[in-house]
Every structure is written in C-alpha cells, then in structure tokens.
Structure 1
Amino acid sequence: MTRPVAVLSRADWEPRAHAHERRAAAHADPFVARRHRGAKHPVEDFLFTYYTLKPAQLKRWHPGTGVVLLDAAGRAAEKFYRPLTGPELTALGLGASSGAVTVDAAAVRERRGAAVDFARAVLGAHARNPGFFGCFGLHEWAMAYRSEDNELRHEYLELRLGAEGTDAVVESSRIRCTHFDAFRFFQPQAVPLNELRPTRESQRRLEQPGCLHATMDLYKWAYKLVPAIPSELLMDCFELARDVRETDMQAAPYDLSGWGYEPVRIETPEGKAEYVRRQRDFARRAEPLRRRLAEAVDLLDPEHTTGGAAA
C-alpha cells in the first residue's frame, strides 16, 4: 500500500466525516430542494448540473490516499476501499480485529489511470504557464453572440444589454479564450473571433491560472479522483469554484438582478479593472489548492510528478 500519512481512530475520523457532511449539505441540500420544485439558480446550480458529482456523493467523506481508518470495516465494501493485509497490520502494530481499511490506490490507478494522467498534465500546465488577465470573461458573451440565430445557453435569463448590445460588445472586443470547455459552447458565429482554437488535447498545455474556468475545474480534477482525494480538499475546491462562478455570471451578459447580483460591467473600463482584480485574487486562492491536488495525484502514481511544489 501507499505509505500511510496517518492512522485515524474512529474518534478521530468520525467527527471529520460528520463535519464534512454538514459542510457539503449547506450547498447540496438547497440544490436538491430547488430541483424538486423546478426552480433554477444561475450560480448555485452550476456546481451540480455542469459538474457531474451528485449531491449525495459530495456529502460522503473520504480521507484520501495513504490514510488508514480504524474501526471502519464496513467501508471495506465501498468502491476503491480495501481492508489492510496481515503484513500491513503487523507493520503498523495493529491487530486483525482493528477493522483497518484504506483507499486502494492501486485500484484507483488501474481504473482511472487516464484521469490521473490528464489531471497531472493539466495541473502541470496550470503551474508552468503565466496567467492571462486580458480575457474579461468574454467567453460568456461569445456564447450569446447573435443569439437570435441560435438558442441561448442560459435560455431562462435575459440579456442585460439586449441582443444588439451584446453583439456590439463581442464585435468590439479582443477575444482570447484559452479554455476548451468554454470555447466549445461559443455560438458558431463567434468561433472565428477567438484568437485560439483550444481542443481537449491542447488543454494539457494551454491551461493557465488566470482562467476562471480552469480555476473552477480544480473541483473537477478533485472529484474525478474521489476517494483518493481528501474530502476537505474537495470542498475547498468546490467552494472556490462557487465563488468563481458568481463572478463568471456577474461578468456575463445576463441580467441577474432577480437573484440579487450586481453586474461586473466588463464593457466599461471600470468593469474590466474589477474583473481583473477578482481574476488575480482567484488565481492566488487557487494556487495552494492546485499544489495540494498535485501532491494527491503524486501519491497515486509516485513514479511521476505533477510539479506540485511549483509556485
């Protein structure tokens, strides 16, 4: 097994599990309630509709790779968990009745090797590349460009400047979106306006810390490797993604006044300056999370490294 970084008694890990469930429930339960009554929220829903981790899965606590849980024999039946072997128990000074289990790092590597490799590459690019702070969130505007010809991505939202005003902002701006998962939702007419042609494969080298969507995606790389990622780190990434999504939509062309959000008017010099200020703050907040994720990926495959210590 991966060398354990901690051996946790039930008295140690159970309070952590309960604390995580409460923390996750604060976001997951309101989403489930909205879904049951057919309501939508342009900021809060995104973390559950665009991203694919289900509310119940978000609320389930995991210690991460290399941690041994005592008195947890019931968890050995969960996917990617296993009981410790006799030699492992002996090496740790534990008995067969200790109910010791751990995340099965080898099984995670075997079943999710492609995700491990992709996360390593993207996190490495995020560490190496300089941040670009001149995009001003225009990806959302490009998704609404000439919307009279195609369906809006957020069909239940009104355009703050109307269709003509939105088109004018797009046509008068420099668009340089580096993120494939934003670019792929551009309206067809907006695609030629982007200076780059990001693809899924080029994401391995284009990811950069100034991109709001790359920062939100730290949450995606975390949940794709659950249970090998500690749930506390997962929630740190989730909560940063939620804050980023708020700015992402405030800077978008939509009118969110009905939900209490003031716009970041990126069509003005003052709005652009505010967007860049927030963008730089998110990049600073994201860096320690990226390092922690990179270190967790390295635990899964210690023969390779993501550059977790890079600044």
Structure 2
Amino acid sequence: MPVLELRSLPEAVWRARAAAHEDRVDALVAEHLARRGTGGKHPVHDFLFTYYSFRPAQLRRWSPGYGVALEGGPDTPTTEDVRARHDLVAGTHALLVATAGRPANLGCFGLHEWAMVYRASAEEVRHAAYPLRLGGAGTDAVVDGHRVACSHFDAYRFFTPAARPLNALSPAAHDRPAHEQPGCLHAGMDLYKHAFRLAPLVPAELVADCFELARDIRVLDMRAAPYDLTALGYEPVRIETAEGKREYAEAQRGFAERGAPLRARLVEECARLLAAA
C-alpha cells in the first residue's frame, strides 16, 4: 500500500490548476452543449454523456482529490467521505488490477457493434438515422462469418437475442474481473466511468484524462461499427476485410497502450484510498 501523504496547495497554485481544468473541459464539451441547446444529436460523441452518467458540469468541477487541503479555498474530501465509498473503491481496485494483469486481446475486431444489430428489424437498430454500410443481410453475414468473442458485459448485454448465443463468452455483471482485458475498447472507455465514480476523491485532471481517452476510443468504436457515418466525416474501418482487421487491431493496440498508465494511476489512487479508509 502506498503511504498517504497529506499536503496543502497555496491558493495561487490551486486556483491556476482549477482554471486550467475548467478551460480544458469547456473546450471538450462545447460541441455537445451546443447540440444539446438545439436538440441535435451525434451518434459518436453524445454517447459519453448519454451512456455515462457524468454531466458536463460535473466533469468541469475541479478537485485535487483526497489528502490535499486548499489554502484559502473550499473544503476537500474527508476521511469519512473515503470510508463511505469503501466498497466502490475496493471493487474498482479489484477490477482494474485483474484487467491490467491480462494480455490485450486484439482479435475481437469490434464485432460487438455488429452483434447489437444482428437480425434486428429496422425499428430495433440503435442508430436508425444512419444506414448500415452492408445492409441488413450483409451485416448479418459478417457476424455469421466470424467468431464473436466479446469479453465486456456492458457491450454483450446489448447484443440482440439472436446474437447472444453466438458469443464465445458469457460475461455477467457479477464476474467482470474474470473477463475484462486491456485490449477491449469498452474497458478502455470505462476508465472514464471508474474515474468519475471516484470523484472528487481522485484528482479532476485524471478524470479528464480518462474522458479524452474515452472520446478517442469512441471514434474508432463507431468507425468500425456497421453504420455508414461518412456524412459525419468518419471513414469506416472495414473490419469485414483483412486490411480493415489489421487497421482495427493496430488502433486497438495503441489505445491499450494509452490506457495502461491511466489504469495504473487509478489503481494507485484506489490503493491510496483503501489505505486511508
């Protein structure tokens, strides 16, 4: 367990950090807030605010995390706050450690998004405003012609009833530590979820770092999906071809490498909080 170091930040330092964080988040969420103001929707980026429950205003709120006092500033999280969330911290720590301990599996090729529309009617397609690149029959044929091996429960649970029996794994909500692995795009995006669920016990900058990773992963996730998003400026990653598989796996490897230090930082923060509690 790391040693908990209690420290204080001079007012000039924490105000500068808070302002920098707010400016950073303002730039990250500006387009989403503009769309929200006009009722517009975006199938790629709005996911970070509809699927995940952290609002832009919460993401913008700065905190140095537990163990730091702000000279001349507001109160920061207390030991009682940490103790109240012990079970969440412990569960998050166990999941992140288990995930980090596995090699990255780069052979799923994003088929989870295809399995979510497998043999679905037009009314059941999640992003019905955008056509399927290969049509319904062509999309189904891609799923039928591949081994589907999704390890992430929160992706698997959105598979159509016809697709669920095709998955090589049966991940469940209660056994995430037994399945999640660092090559999974959704496990990478979920670093943002783990970070914001720990806020304000962890530094706000770490939450924003995880948000940026999730934003970039989401682009690949949808470029490799069966939808035609060229009207939005997204060229498809054609995972139904050998070239597309190579492109996807290489990008997946890059995100796994980007996610590793963020996962390690979250593990360290969880260990610190567990020591404090």
What residue is the counterpart of 2:150 in the other structure?
177
Question: Mind listing any 5+ residue stretches in structure 2 that lack a counterpart?
Answer: none
Q: Does 1:104 align with 2:78?
A: yes
What residue is the counterpart of 1:260 in the other structure?
233
Aligned-pair distance for 1:6? Answer: 3.4
The residue correspondences of 1:121-270 to structure 2 (distance < 5 A) are: 121-148=94-121, 151-270=124-243
Aligned-pair distance for 1:116? Answer: 1.1
Question: Match of 1:11, as an amino acid?
Answer: A
Aligned-pair distance for 1:109? Answer: 2.7
The secondary structure found in structure 1 opposite 2:124 is: coil
The secondary structure found in structure 2 opposite 1:154 is: coil
Distance 1:5 1:180 in 2: 38
Preserved CA contact (<8 Å) 1:141 1:166 = yes
Aligned-pair distance for 1:32? Answer: 1.8
Distance 1:234 1:9 in 2: 22
The secondary structure found in structure 1 opposite 2:173 is: coil
Identity %: 54
How well do the aligned residues superpose, as a CA RMSD in angstroms?
1.5
The secondary structure found in structure 2 opposite 1:146 is: coil
The secondary structure found in structure 2 opposite 1:57 is: helix
**C-alpha distance after superposition, 1:205-259 (max 9, x if no partner):** 2111010000000000000010011111111110011010000000000011111
Aligned-pair distance for 1:27? Answer: 2.1
Cα separation, partners in 2 of 1:14 and 1:276, compared to 1, 3 Å = same
Pairs aligned (count): 275
TM-score (norm 1): 0.85
Q: Rg: which structure is higher? A: 1
Aligned-pair distance for 1:7? Answer: 1.6
Distance 1:297 1:125 in 2: 14
**C-alpha distance after superposition, 1:167-209 (max 9, x if no partner):** 0000001000000000000011000000011001110221110
Question: Match of 1:16, as an amino acid?
Answer: R
Cα separation, partners in 2 of 1:108 and 1:43, compared to 1, 3 Å = same
What residue is the counterpart of 1:34 in the other structure?
35
Is 38-47 or 275-284 further displaced after alignment? 38-47
Distance 1:232 1:136 in 2: 31
The secondary structure found in structure 2 opposite 1:301 is: helix
Cα separation, partners in 2 of 1:103 and 1:298, compared to 1, 3 Å = same
The secondary structure found in structure 2 opposite 1:61 is: coil
The secondary structure found in structure 1 opposite 2:69 is: strand
Preserved CA contact (<8 Å) 2:4 2:275 = no
Q: Does 1:278 align with 2:251?
A: yes
Q: Does 1:302 align with 2:275?
A: yes
The secondary structure found in structure 2 opposite 1:279 is: helix
What residue is the counterpart of 2:262 in the other structure?
289
What residue is the counterpart of 2:49 in the other structure?
48
Distance 2:106 2:4 in 1: 40
Aligned-pair distance for 1:303? Answer: 7.8
Aligned-pair distance for 1:149? Answer: 7.1
Distance 1:149 1:258 in 2: 20
Distance 1:253 1:109 in 2: 45
The secondary structure found in structure 2 opposite 1:202 is: helix
Looking at both structures, which has the greater relative contact order when contacts are Cα pairs under 8 Å and sequence separation is at least 6? 2
Distance 1:49 1:280 in 2: 26
What residue is the counterpart of 2:71 in the other structure?
70
Cα separation, partners in 2 of 1:4 and 1:119, compared to 1, 3 Å = same
The secondary structure found in structure 2 opposite 1:103 is: coil
Question: Mind listing any 5+ residue stretches in structure 1 that lack a counterpart?
Answer: 77-101, 305-311
- Structure 1 runs (4+) deviating above 3 angstroms are 2-6
Question: Match of 2:22, as an amino acid?
Answer: E
Is 260-269 or 293-302 further displaced after alignment? 293-302
